[in-house]
Structure 1
């Protein structure tokens, strides 16, 4: 490939990555897109060696080859995991070797900008760490209890209006169909001994008038106010009935968000806030690799341009 390429690591069907790839193509930036968990080693060939304390060599996907020592940026989106073809020991071993070999090299490229580094993304996905860092940086954080003790959960729910929400928004199916587990109010009498089966996150309910999704790219903070119908607690459960408008981020919040990314070594974050009628922003969570494509169109936020600019030049725009 001519010029310093951008590597885009994501699954085949990723409309969000499609926007960024199209914008990089428009700017004349060479792009090599692949899905490590699916393409390696069947479609991809890695040849990497150490030299002068860094890695050099090549990554070939089909008929396209990237010089590993010349990669300008690595866009870590949503690649599939390395999955063994069977449950046989040899296949499990191979899958682990593929992950540690290819991921290890791609995570140690010289002079490469990571958006964001896969290890930083993995570390930042833990909500307990997020809440602790957000609070330490001065953001408002609702009182939170993480427990598998039903008695502790009941005491917490009796002390204030309380919601339950999952610690991780993983895949979930009901009767074979994909389903979401949304944040929901919970009363002390609804808490059963089933809480003992796993860790549960209970949180004081913020009396909100709306929500904000703040998308941070590098040092640029792009925010949208999301208004759901009355009575809807979790706006993600009512996508068809939401309204959006761009809003400015309060300066203390903006400074805290940039410091938050710095604490976790990230260059991107999709932050969710509950906003009270008085205008206070309460931190709920950060998705270090969150979706944003629908928000760009709905609220008129130039997120694609910001990401492409960072991948191309190391600055947003």
Structure 2
């Protein structure tokens, strides 16, 4: 019997849907669940360890997954493990952490299994300081960048730039004074407006690149999909999806080689790279190890889904 692909993802993720449709079309069995949302109410776990390693199963309402018989794991932003509302605060927090380290640990240790990407590698690769240092080490151009909590450092940094950009180090929701939650996006700043509150946290500042366009490169193994993004009236194009246009373009061999080296260095199979174009130069901004791509115009999403399916299927050496 053909070994299944395990999709670890929330149930309303259209990116996962496209990949699973591709796998189903090729006759590859798939088991999908969301551990943070489904465990323990919908999932039963039995993992056994002895001198031969790990064996056991995970049972869902519709499937039994043999832990030693998983072809590949497609890890796609599952729901964080969350406390049960039926327990007191302390017990609920304890149970959620046990689930993360128990079920999460089992899912990260499936024997002989290929991961796209391994969850621990995803976690490591989300740190922007590591991204920038790795990109530079792999030969990619990066903007001059400062991470600091010192007001005087920001002023000195900005004095040597034609423009300065602030970026959050992580997309943490921020609650405003009126009680509403908002996302903080990359935006230009006036360094004179940076006050003493900067000392309260780490902040990332970058020299603003006078870009001609943005490029999102989705890389899956050796498959490369560079998409030029035009039409954004703001620095951060994610604020204006309705005004954007997309065009598949070619990446230079040097950039492709550097991106491949970047993924290899961080133990990744998949990466969504963001660049800005400055003349003929591709300037690296960041790489999301679990980035989105389903919103692109057709046929780009189908091509990327096909490339991901190719890599997942060939994990067991089948064509």
For the aligned pair, the TM-score class normalised by the smaller chain equals over 0.9
CA 1:298–1:205 in 2, change beyond 3 Å: closer, same or farther?
farther
Indicate the SS of the match to 2:295.
helix
In structure 1, the residue matched to 2:101 is 100
Does 2:144 match 1:143?
yes
Whole-Å separation in 1 of the counterparts to 2:299 and 2:239:
17
Residue 203 of structure 1 is matched in structure 2 by 206
Local SS of the residue matching 2:135: helix
Tell me the equivalent position of 1:307: 308
Q: How far, CA to CA, are the matches of 1:262 and 1:21 in structure 2?
A: 25
Cα distance per residue 1:49-104 (max 9 Å; x no partner): 12554311111111311111110001110111111124533222221111111111
Does the 8 Å CA contact 1:145/1:202 hold for their aligned counterparts?
A: yes
| Offset of residue 298 of structure 1 | 7.0
Kept in 2: contact 1:10–1:79 (CA 8 A): yes
| CA–CA separation in structure 2 for the residues paired with 1:52 and 1:108 | 15
Q: Structure 1 stretch 55-64 or stretch 86-95: which is displaced more?
A: 86-95
Give CA-to-partner distance per residue, 1:268-299, whole Å, 9 cap, x none.
Answer: 110000101x2210000010101010126375
Note the alpha carbon deviations across 1:155-210, whole angstroms, 9 max, x for none.
11121011111111233455565533221111221211121121110001111100
Match status 1:261 vs 2:260: no
* Distance 1:192-1:16 versus aligned 2 partners, 3 A rule: same
Conserved 8 A contact 2:18-2:302? no
Aligned to 2:224: 221
- With the length of structure 2 as denominator, give the TM-score of the two structures: 0.93
The unaligned stretches of length 5 or more in structure 1 are none
| CA shift for structure 1 position 154 | 1.4
TM-score (normalised: structure 1): 0.94
1:9 aligned partner:
8
Q: Which deviates the most, 236-245 or 163-172?
A: 163-172
Report the counterpart of residue 185 of structure 1 in structure 2: 188
Q: CA deviation at 1:316?
A: 12
Q: 1:246 aligns with which of 245, 248, 251?
A: 248
Kindly tell me the number of residue pairs found equivalent between the two proteins: 314
Instruction: Tell me what 2:154 maps to.
Output: 153
Contact 1:246 1:300 in 2 (8 A): no
Q: In the alignment, is residue 212 of structure 1 matched against residue 211 of structure 2?
A: no
Q: 1:87 to 1:207 in 2, by over 3 A?
A: farther
1:164 aligns with 2:144: no
SS at match of 2:296: helix
**What is the aligned-residue RMSD (CA, Å)?**
1.9
Distance 1:299 1:8 in 2: 21
Report if the CA contact (8 A) 2:294-2:301 is conserved.
no
**Can you list the C-alpha shifts for 1:6-52, whole angstroms capped at 9, x where unaligned?**
11111121111111111111111111100101111111011111255
1:312 to partner: Cα distance: 1.4
Q: Which residue is equivalent to 1:65?
A: 64
Match of 1:117 in 2: 118
The Cα offsets for residues 92-125 of structure 1, whole Å up to 9 and x where unpaired, read as 2221111111111111111211010000000000
